[in-house]
Structure 1
Amino acid sequence: MPAPLPPGSTLGILGGGQLGRMLSQAASRLGFNVVILDPEENSPAARVSQGQIVAAYDDATALGVLGRTCQAVTFEFENVPAASVERLAAGGALVAPGSKALAVAQDRLEEKTFLNGVGATTVDFAPVDSLDDLLAGLERLGAPAVLKTRREGYDGKGQIWVRSADMAADAWSAIGQRPAILEAKAPFLRELSIIAARGRDGSLAVYPLGENIHAGGVLKTTLAPAEVDARTTARAYAIAEAILQGLDYVGVLGVELFDLGDGRLLVNEIAPRVHNTGHWTQDGCVCDQFEQHIRAVAGWPLGPTAAHARVEMTNLLGDEVEGWRELGGEPAARLHLYGKAEARPGRKMGHVNRVRSL
């Protein structure tokens, strides 16, 4: 196992968005330098980092420079090509999480298959490569069911509800007739999530569960720690551990869950990175998810995960960010803005954590 990286080392981050920005800020607090690789010049993460390589994520020359410059490399979102991570590792770079986690998370069919294989149960599902497959899947799973592209798609994109067999042809066309997965409807009471980390030495650190509220397919609010019983907590922790161990994972992982009641949980999806539903930890825990990820990647001991406050995290979408004056005046509110220039509808521009006592 590589020795822990000392302060003054340089970390690379593939991706220059808000997650990369907050990872870079956490790394800076621990004394690390950060270099961003992102195709967008002057990205939000680059503006709080030592430097940026402006290039595509699969640019061989740029990846070579990043690997030689940095003592460890990570990524901020799961649509970075897995081949790029493999290229970095083959060149001798220390990369975490590894390409296996990316490959699993980038394909919804592979993800569901992996999850069930490690005992993290999901809804029933069927692969869809044609309209006939979709019709057969609807006959087996029943309607309504949700049709999702196997690759790409996030925040409600690349998916459509199919409420009857009559809608199948239109739904298949709506997703561009691309390889897909049909998922049965989950009879859940609420949506939960858990943020967990695994260190290079195999140690685990798991945060309290959060309860999530979505609007239009996009996360709007997370309440954490969620009000859950011991049985539900134990099951969520077991799911997180099984996934982390099954992927031989290093870093922070987000797991979205459907709560069926009575301690029964289904995994909706996983994210091999820091996660929107873990933003509450910035103001609710001593060691937030961003510092935790940097600690894991650098080979440091993992930090404490106990909550010292209850937090209501609210995403600021589009022009909601214009309310920064009022939000900045709320005594219990901690404002986190991402430095994005254009407030497009539905775009995540920042979030606010409202801190309450436990």
Structure 2
Amino acid sequence: MILPPGSTIGILGGGQLGRMLAIAAAQLGYRSHIYAPEASGPATEVSAEWTKAGYDDADALARFAQAVGVVTYEFENVPPAALDRLETLVPIRPGKRSLEISRVREREKSLVRDLGGRTAPFRAVQSLDELRDAFAEIGTPSILKTSSLGYDGKGQVRLHDASGLESAWEAVRGAPCVLEGFVSFDAEFSVLLCRAESGETAVWDTPENVHTHGILDTSTVPARAAVLAQAEEAIALARRVADALDHIGLLTCEFFACSDGPVFNEMAPRVHNSGHWTIEGAVTSQFENHIRAVCGLPMGATARTGARIEMHNLIGEDANSWAAILADPTAKLHLYGKHVRPGRKMGHVTRIF
């Protein structure tokens, strides 16, 4: 399927990723129609249309599908029932299977393990008794993570001894979870891969990522030697994952660089915070190539545009430093139009060296 410029792309979710997808789409001559339960969001200011409706509103979903030529999404926690309705009316790219796997931690880890990748030791848990059994097997330190709806460190509780099991279970409110063992690693990195319907893939340089309080702080390319030595193996695994899912569009796989090779952490079937550097730092950004792939267009080159590139997230009050950031003529500032709130991703700044 080729969707020509001038057509309308439907985007589920109206956050900053939807905003940057809509900007990339507009540069290629497409209109964007956002569907989200909220009345506004970062994508509001740059999209042609906005449908405010719940994901359980069958009539609104049908009207949305009729108004667009393809549907994509900016986050993976779209209710499955909404996708079931949409896919009978309009192509969804990436497809529903990518969401079904990536939105549940044990599914994505099991898929990666079946494809020959390594993960941290893990056990699915759905009760306090199962948590006790899993903890006895995996040991300490370990981390309890909700199976779905967790991001930026949310829905996670660290466990250092058995005395914390009951309070941890209460903290996740009895939601289905995964207990994971800790992994000793030298660095964190991600693979950004865009796959076309033909199976062709475009891959960017592997960014090394640093997190603070569970939120991405910086992404840097090129990564250090510890990451570069493992990037090829990680990219090969990401390709196998994309092929297994018949994925169309951007797929992000996050890894730990360990002493004995890469260990898979998690995936996102969408554009990703660790790829924001590609807007100025690559010939074609992750956002543009995602739009190209879901519309059936040829993908663009991914070579980086500088010797070294660093993307830094602006969290909460960091966004109020915009004047100081703009005083640096080499800084490329992106603000998402949000109200400042502690711990909230307000924007990012990219520097090319």
Task: Tell whether the 8 Å contact from 1:14 to 1:57 is kept in structure 2 after alignment.
Answer: no
1:315 match: secondary structure: strand
Residues of 1 paired with 2:262 and 2:62: CA distance? Answer: 42
One-letter code of the match for 1:84? Answer: A
2:14 match: secondary structure: coil
Q: Which runs of 4+ in 1 moved over 4 A?
A: none
One-letter code of the match for 2:319? Answer: V
Task: Tell whether the 8 Å contact from 1:83 to 1:99 is kept in structure 2 after alignment.
Answer: no
Query: How far off its partner does 1:57 sit?
Result: 2.3
Residues of 2 paired with 1:338 and 1:111: CA distance? Answer: 30
1:135 match: secondary structure: helix
2:217 match: secondary structure: strand
Question: Do structure 1's residue 79 and structure 2's residue 61 form an aligned pair?
Answer: no
Q: For residues 1-358 of structure 1, what are the structure 2 equivalents within 5 Å? A: 2=1, 4-91=2-89, 93-228=90-225, 231-261=229-259, 264-309=261-306, 310-340=308-338, 342-356=339-353
Change (3 A) 1:334 1:125: same
Residues of 2 paired with 1:75 and 1:58: CA distance? Answer: 16
Q: What is the alpha-carbon root mean square deviation over aligned residues?
A: 1.2
Query: How far off its partner does 1:39 sit?
Result: 1.6
User: Which residues of structure 1 form unaligned runs of 5+?
Assistant: none
Query: How far off its partner does 1:231 sit?
Result: 4.1
Residues of 2 paired with 1:124 and 1:204: CA distance? Answer: 30
Residues of 1 paired with 2:72 and 2:252: CA distance? Answer: 15
TM norm structure 1:
0.95
User: Which residues of structure 2 form unaligned runs of 5+?
Assistant: none
Q: Deviations over 1:37-70 (max 9, x none)?
A: 1122232212101110111123211111111111
Residues of 2 paired with 1:51 and 1:129: CA distance? Answer: 41
1:220 match: secondary structure: strand
Residues of 2 paired with 1:41 and 1:167: CA distance? Answer: 40
Of the structure 1 ranges 109-118 and 289-298, higher mean CA displacement relative to structure 2 is found in: 109-118
TM norm structure 2:
0.97
Query: How far off its partner does 1:245 sit?
Result: 0.6
Q: How many residues align?
A: 351
% same residue: 45
Residues of 1 paired with 2:349 and 2:24: CA distance? Answer: 18
